């Protein structure tokens, strides 16, 4: 259903398909407003739909000290990108996605910083490859929603001085960094502000986006991977989707990730799995819930990558004797701080089904039997 308004297109997304995983039949009604037309076949999940490369290197990070081997990370980046693209050189591999004319946004995840974040060594390796193919350093932006989280990481110590390190919100709650003309409107709980606006960096500045999420459990969404980092991480006013034990992350994450021009401009995902969080995410206050997959994943299909992430988190939780992220038992919900200490409890009913739901929006392949994984050991 399309409603017009002079210079913009307004898309009203309704839950037309049968909800997955036994969900209730009624989902929130979303109104997506964007002046940017869709570009079929561009951005997520193309050109390598249902294809994922995983590179593991045991020496990439020391679990005891959390020291990262930058040289090994560069080797992982080289191996992963060549394997994904089939190119014989790093320059040719990165040039499949980026040209020297592009203004490139590197979407990091700093919600668990400074303990858990997109590793500076991974981000610096990506920047080095971009400058190698001719992208001027001042056309590269490392960005996130919140400036205070980014400052705690210190990316500026690892990249050329001309690289921009910026955030949508320099002060928490600021709306100046968001595009008033591009937003998703939905009323979840009768909240006063029912709009989530896209960051101006995406709509007004970048021509290409490289998404660098972490491998994390999330108390509301089930996992924080490609979809959540590019969806919730690029819009304002998103935490309103989960209140008390109820969460609307199931349908909200994919809806946000589908908005143009975010969808078309996101051309590559490099999932940083050097560290991970298996409980009480997305933050990482306690090291006991941190683990070290020591891997990077590469792809253009965020659904396929997040489907594999679910297996990583599930396997770790099973090894730790913790319940599945798909567990919906109300007796496991606690409103106090118990879930931050005990992995048998949680603050919300998690919605890892958001990954499968995103597949119904055309964002990628969820069926594990159709996902082609190439696993490489260094």
Instruction: Give the residue-averaged pLDDT of 163-187.
Output: 95
Non-local (6+) Cβ contacts of 131 within 8 A are 137, 140, 160
- Tell me what pLDDT residue 121 has: 98
Q: Which two tokens stand for residue 203?
A: 């709509």
Residue 25 reports pLDDT greater than 90: no
DSSP state of 183: E
CB 258 within 8 A of CB 361: yes
- Tell me what pLDDT residue 7 has: 34
- Its sign, for the CA torsion 210, 216, 218, 223, is positive
- Tell me what pLDDT residue 243 has: 86
Q: How far is CA 61 from CA 56, 89, 122, 349, in A?
A: 11, 25, 12, 33
CB 267 within 8 A of CB 48: no
- Tell me what pLDDT residue 151 has: 93
Residue 6 reports pLDDT greater than 50: no
Alpha-carbon gap, residue 93 to 81, rounded angstroms: 6
Q: Which two tokens stand for residue 140?
A: 């590269």
- SS3 assignment, position 72: helix
- SS3 assignment, position 109: coil
Comparison of pLDDT for 21 and 147, the residue scoring more: 147
- Tell me what pLDDT residue 341 has: 95
Query: What pTM, to 2 d.p., does this model score?
Result: 0.94
Non-local (6+) Cβ contacts of 176 within 8 A are none
- Fold assignment, 42-177+198-377: Rossmann fold (3.40.50)
Comparison of pLDDT for 272 and 26, the residue scoring more: 272
Quickly count helices (H) and strands (E) in the chain. 10, 18
Within 10 A of 30 (CB to CB), how many other CB atoms are there? 21
């Amino acid at each position: 259903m399309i409603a017009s308004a002079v210079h913009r297109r307004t898309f009203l997304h309704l839950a037309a398909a049968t909800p997955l995983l036994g969900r209730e039949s009624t989902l929130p009604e979303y109104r997506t407003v964007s002046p940017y037309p869709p570009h079929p076949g561009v951005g997520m999940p193309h050109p390598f739909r249902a294809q994922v490369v995983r590179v593991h290197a045991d020496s990439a990070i020391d679990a005891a000290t959390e020291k990262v081997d930058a040289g090994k990370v560069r080797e992982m980046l080289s191996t992963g990108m060549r394997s994904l693209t089939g190119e014989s050189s790093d320059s040719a591999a990165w040039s499949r996605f980026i040209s020297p004319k592009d203004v490139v946004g590197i979407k990091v995840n700093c919600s668990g910083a400074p303990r858990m974040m997109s590793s500076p060594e991974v981000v610096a390796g990506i920047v080095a490859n971009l400058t190698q193919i001719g992208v001027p350093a001042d056309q590269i932006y490392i960005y996130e929603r919140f400036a205070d989280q980014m400052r705690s990481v210190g990316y500026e110590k690892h990249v050329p001085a001309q690289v921009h390190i910026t955030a949508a919100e320099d002060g928490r709650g600021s709306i100046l960094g968001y595009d008033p003309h591009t937003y998703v409107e939905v009323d979840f709980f009768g909240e006063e502000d029912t709009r989530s606006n896209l960051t101006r960096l995406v709509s007004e500045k970048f021509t290409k986006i490289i998404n660098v999420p972490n491998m994390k459990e999330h108390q509301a969404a089930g996992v924080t991977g490609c979809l959540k980092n590019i969806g919730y991480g690029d819009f304002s006013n998103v935490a309103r989707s989960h209140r008390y034990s109820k969460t609307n992350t199931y349908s909200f994450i994919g809806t946000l990730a589908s908005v143009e021009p975010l969808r078309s401009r996101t051309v590559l995902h490099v999932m940083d799995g050097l560290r991970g969080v298996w409980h009480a995410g997305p933050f990482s206050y306690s090291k006991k819930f941190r683990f070290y997959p020591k891997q990077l994943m590469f792809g253009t299909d965020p659904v396929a990558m997040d489907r594999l992430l679910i297996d990583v988190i599930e396997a770790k939780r099973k090894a730790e004797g913790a319940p599945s992220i798909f567990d919906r038992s109300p007796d496991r919900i606690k409103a106090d701080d118990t879930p931050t200490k005990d992995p048998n409890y949680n603050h919300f009913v998690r919605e890892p089904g958001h990954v499968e739901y995103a597949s119904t929006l055309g964002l990628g392949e969820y069926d594990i039997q159709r996902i082609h994984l190439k696993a490489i050991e260094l």
